[in-house]
Amino acid sequence: MREQVEEVLGKLRPFLLRDGGDVELVDVEDGVVRVRLMGACGSCPSSTITLKAGIERALLEEVPGVRELEQVF
Protein backbone atom coordinates (compact mmCIF):
# COMPACT_ATOMS: atom_id res chain seq x y z
CA MET A 1 0.00 0.00 0.00
CA ARG A 2 2.88 2.36 0.79
CA GLU A 3 4.14 2.19 -2.81
CA GLN A 4 0.68 3.02 -4.14
CA VAL A 5 0.40 5.99 -1.78
CA GLU A 6 3.85 7.23 -2.89
CA GLU A 7 2.74 6.92 -6.52
CA VAL A 8 -0.36 9.07 -5.93
CA LEU A 9 1.65 11.65 -3.99
CA GLY A 10 4.12 11.70 -6.88
CA LYS A 11 1.30 12.65 -9.25
CA LEU A 12 0.18 15.48 -6.96
CA ARG A 13 3.65 16.76 -6.06
CA PRO A 14 4.14 18.96 -9.18
CA PHE A 15 1.06 20.99 -8.25
CA LEU A 16 2.33 21.53 -4.72
CA LEU A 17 5.85 22.38 -5.91
CA ARG A 18 4.43 24.96 -8.31
CA ASP A 19 2.99 26.80 -5.30
CA GLY A 20 6.21 26.52 -3.29
CA GLY A 21 5.20 23.51 -1.18
CA ASP A 22 5.64 19.78 -0.99
CA VAL A 23 4.28 16.72 0.79
CA GLU A 24 6.20 14.02 2.66
CA LEU A 25 4.81 10.58 3.45
CA VAL A 26 5.39 9.91 7.14
CA ASP A 27 3.55 6.62 7.72
CA VAL A 28 0.87 4.26 6.45
CA GLU A 29 -0.77 2.09 9.10
CA ASP A 30 -4.14 0.31 9.15
CA GLY A 31 -5.49 2.40 6.27
CA VAL A 32 -4.45 5.70 7.84
CA VAL A 33 -1.99 7.74 5.79
CA ARG A 34 0.07 10.33 7.66
CA VAL A 35 1.71 13.13 5.71
CA ARG A 36 3.64 16.29 6.45
CA LEU A 37 3.05 19.39 4.34
CA MET A 38 6.27 21.31 3.80
CA GLY A 39 7.38 24.67 2.42
CA ALA A 40 4.61 27.11 1.60
CA CYS A 41 2.01 24.35 2.09
CA GLY A 42 2.97 23.94 5.74
CA SER A 43 1.88 27.45 6.66
CA CYS A 44 -0.79 28.06 4.02
CA PRO A 45 -4.29 28.85 5.32
CA SER A 46 -5.69 26.63 2.55
CA SER A 47 -3.67 23.59 3.63
CA THR A 48 -6.73 21.87 5.12
CA ILE A 49 -8.51 22.17 1.78
CA THR A 50 -5.39 20.87 0.02
CA LEU A 51 -5.34 17.87 2.35
CA LYS A 52 -9.01 16.95 2.34
CA ALA A 53 -10.21 18.00 -1.10
CA GLY A 54 -7.03 17.16 -2.96
CA ILE A 55 -4.71 14.63 -1.41
CA GLU A 56 -7.21 12.61 0.65
CA ARG A 57 -9.73 12.41 -2.18
CA ALA A 58 -7.07 11.16 -4.61
CA LEU A 59 -5.81 8.56 -2.13
CA LEU A 60 -9.31 7.27 -1.35
CA GLU A 61 -10.09 6.95 -5.06
CA GLU A 62 -6.82 5.39 -6.19
CA VAL A 63 -5.51 3.28 -3.30
CA PRO A 64 -7.69 0.43 -2.00
CA GLY A 65 -7.63 0.20 1.77
CA VAL A 66 -6.94 3.87 2.52
CA ARG A 67 -9.51 5.08 5.05
CA GLU A 68 -8.20 8.42 6.23
CA LEU A 69 -5.50 11.05 5.80
CA GLU A 70 -3.88 12.76 8.79
CA GLN A 71 -1.52 15.70 8.82
CA VAL A 72 1.57 15.41 11.01
CA PHE A 73 3.39 18.55 12.13
CA separation, residue 12 to residues 15, 21, 22, 30 (Å): 6, 11, 9, 23
- Residue 45 pLDDT level (bands cut at 50, 70, 90): confident
Query: 47 or 72: which carries more pLDDT confidence?
Result: 72
Read off the pLDDT of residues 15-44 as tens digits, 9 standing for 90 and up.
Answer: 999 989 999 999 999 999 999 999 988 877
Is 90 exceeded by the pLDDT of residue 13? yes
Q: Which CATH superfamily is domain 2-71 in?
A: Fe-S cluster assembly (FSCA) (3.30.300.130)
Q: Pairing state of beta strands 68-71 and 21-29?
A: unpaired
Instruction: Map out the domains of the chain as residue ranges.
Output: 2-71
pLDDT for position 40 = 86
Q: What's the residue count for the chain?
A: 73
pLDDT for position 48 = 83
